[in-house]
Structure formats: structure tokens, C-alpha cells
Structure 1
């Protein structure tokens, strides 16, 4: 059985385009969520997962309707494969019921993983090079050393409340406590 799933991000968006494409593809049932893909709970997608059976095909208009990240899509693909369910994406022309479709999906997934690893390696190398040149990462301090000492002295004198000190110095409580901790250690 072909089961369609569509998702529209905004309440004002119409699902007609996706619905029509899924119906034209032969979907016997179509479920729609009117919710952002970033929202974890998607009622229609949960219902789809409940009714899918071995031999069925989950049909989506585009892969991004199913998952917002490659990680989500791979998790879905792994779940579907383990249950004997195929995935078909109309816009990307991917059909995992065929060997070629599974290969294409896994190539996309491998390339994305490769890209993530390259980004990670470049980030680590860049940070190492910056440290070797004496650069320390992180946001610059809001106050110079003298103002931080004054802030800690005001705190230790206990003449003012923490809120008063933070307001006077224009800092947050966590920042105040980090200054106090830095001068204690």
C-alpha cells in the first residue's frame, strides 16, 4: 500500500500541492501535519508510523517534509528498512524499493556525513592554529581587569545586594559569580 505524508510549515500554507502530487502518485491514504518540521511531536506522522506495514511504501512530496535534518532522515530510513517498508520521494525521484534508490539515498547520507567530518576537522585545525598563535577563543570580556576587581570587592564587602552590583556594573548574575570564582582561585 502507498501511504502519503505531507507537512506544511505555516497555518496559512495550503497542502493542496503536496496532497495532489501524493494522490497522483497513487497513495491510498494521505496524512498531513500543519506544523513546523522543528517540532518533535507530529501527530499525523505518528499515525503514519502506526499504520505502516511490511511491504508498504511511505511516499513524501520532498524529503524535507519527512525530516528537517539528514540525521532525522537516516533514522527514518533505518526504521523503514528494518520494518521492510520502502520510502519514495517524488521531487528527488528516490524510491528505496529499488536497489538504485537505496544506493542513491545512502550516497546522499554518506556525503553528508563526510561533509560533517570535514567541517569538524577544519574547526579543530583552525582552533589549534589559533591557540598556537596565542589566541584564546571565546567572547571578549565585558570588563577590564580593574573593573572586575572592583566588582569582586563590592561583592566581598557585602554592602550591596547581588542584584544591585549586577545593575551597577551592567552584568548578569552568572557573570558576577564567574568573576568571584576567578579571583578566589
Structure 2
């Protein structure tokens, strides 16, 4: 049995699931087995996904239009699909990056294994960059007290943690010895740069030229 999941990022009517719905119906998902959310993938609650995952039974296959419709980030995506595998549930992506993923086939499972390996590699790179950022911050006297201002190395390391881990902003600020208010002066909660952060990054890049 095929079960489909759809998601758009905005609930204000500016986006619709029509394209995703048509694609899922075209591969055999029945109307009554479609679940949807009108929410961003990263922060908003997704009751449609929760209901979808609960409804899946061994032998079923979860089908999504594109890979980014399912996971908040790479780590969440790999964890979710691996959990489906242990439950005996298949996973299939119809188009876009990851369209080769179909864990009901040998080739699809192989591709997902490579995909998961890249996810692990990315996590290791993030950890390495974070360690380098901490070392750079300590070298600038940031250990054991709050810096008077954010520097570029700390900003990049904090940005990587916010964007790619579940660590809270408060914990990240404490890790770097800065205030949460200072952190939010430069970064949004999803790790994207605010105006002050963009100016600091730009100034650092110009200084390296």
C-alpha cells in the first residue's frame, strides 16, 4: 500500500499542494491515503506528518514528491527513513534530488546507504568546523568570560550549530561564552544571518582580500 505525504511552507494560500497531489495520485496513491501539512519544515508542528507516520504499517511505502518535503534537515531525514526501515516500511522519492531513493528496491536501498554515508560525513565536517571555531575563539581570549563583541570565527561556528543541530540558542551562546541576546543580534533561530551577522561576515571577507 502506498501512502503519500505533502507539505508546503506557507499556510497563507500563496502555495498549494496541487502539484504534489497530482504526482502522488499519478503513481497510485489513493486520495484517502494522502496526508499534508501547511508549515515550514524546520520549526512548525506538523500534525499531518505525525498522523502519516502513525498510519504506516509494515509493507506500506511512504511516497513524497521531493526529498525536502519530509525532513527538517539531513539528520532528521536520515533518522526518519532509517526508522521506517526498521518498521518494515518503504520510502520513495518521485523527483528532484534523491529521486533515486526507493528503499523497496535493491538499487534504491544502495543509493540511500550512500546518501546516509554523506549525511554522516556532513555531520563530521560540522563537528570539525565547530571545534575549529571554538579553538579560534579561545585563542582570542574568549574562554572564561563573555567577549565584548561577536567575532567572525564564533559567528560561523554558532551558525553551523543552529542550522544543523537540535542544540538550543541558549546552550550555543553558553558554549561560546556569549549572551543569548548577542547571539540573536547576529543570527536568526534557524542559523540564517541577520543584518548585523551579514555585515560581520562581509567585513571579514573583505579583510581577507
Question: Residue in 1 aligned with 2:17?
Answer: 15
Task: Give the Å deviation of 1:66.
Answer: 0.7
Question: Residue in 2 aligned with 1:39?
Answer: 43
- Contact 2:78 2:119 survives alignment (8 Å): no
Tell me the TM-score normalised to structure 2 length: 0.60
Over aligned residues, Cα RMSD in angstroms? Answer: 2.6
Distance 1:126 1:62 in 2: 34
Cα distance change on mapping 1:16 and 1:126 into 2, 3 Å:
closer
Task: Give the Å deviation of 1:140.
Answer: 4.0
Cα distance change on mapping 1:121 and 1:54 into 2, 3 Å:
same
Question: Residue in 1 aligned with 2:201?
Answer: none
- Partner residue of 2:94 out of 68, 90, 94: 90
- Partner residue of 1:71 out of 75, 82, 92: 75
Task: Give the Å deviation of 1:111.
Answer: 1.0
Give the unaligned 5+ runs of structure 1. Answer: 143-171, 176-185
- Partner residue of 2:141 out of 136, 145, 151: 136
Q: What are the Cα deviations for residues 137-184 of structure 1, in whole angstroms up to 9, with x where unaligned?
A: 486427xxxxxxxxxxxxxxxxxxxxxxxxxxxxx9x99xxxxxxxxx
Cα distance change on mapping 1:38 and 1:125 into 2, 3 Å:
closer
Give the unaligned 5+ runs of structure 2. Answer: 150-178, 183-209
Task: Spell out the pairing of 1:131-170 with structure 2 (5 A cutoff).
Answer: 131=138, 134-137=139-142, 140-141=147-148
Question: Residue in 1 aligned with 2:119?
Answer: 112
Question: Residue in 2 aligned with 1:26?
Answer: 28
Matched length: 143
Distance 2:133 2:55 in 1: 48
Cα distance change on mapping 1:16 and 1:85 into 2, 3 Å:
same
Residue 102, structure 1, aligned to residue 109, structure 2: yes
Cα distance change on mapping 1:141 and 1:37 into 2, 3 Å:
same
Question: Residue in 2 aligned with 1:4?
Answer: 4
Cα distance change on mapping 1:122 and 1:67 into 2, 3 Å:
closer
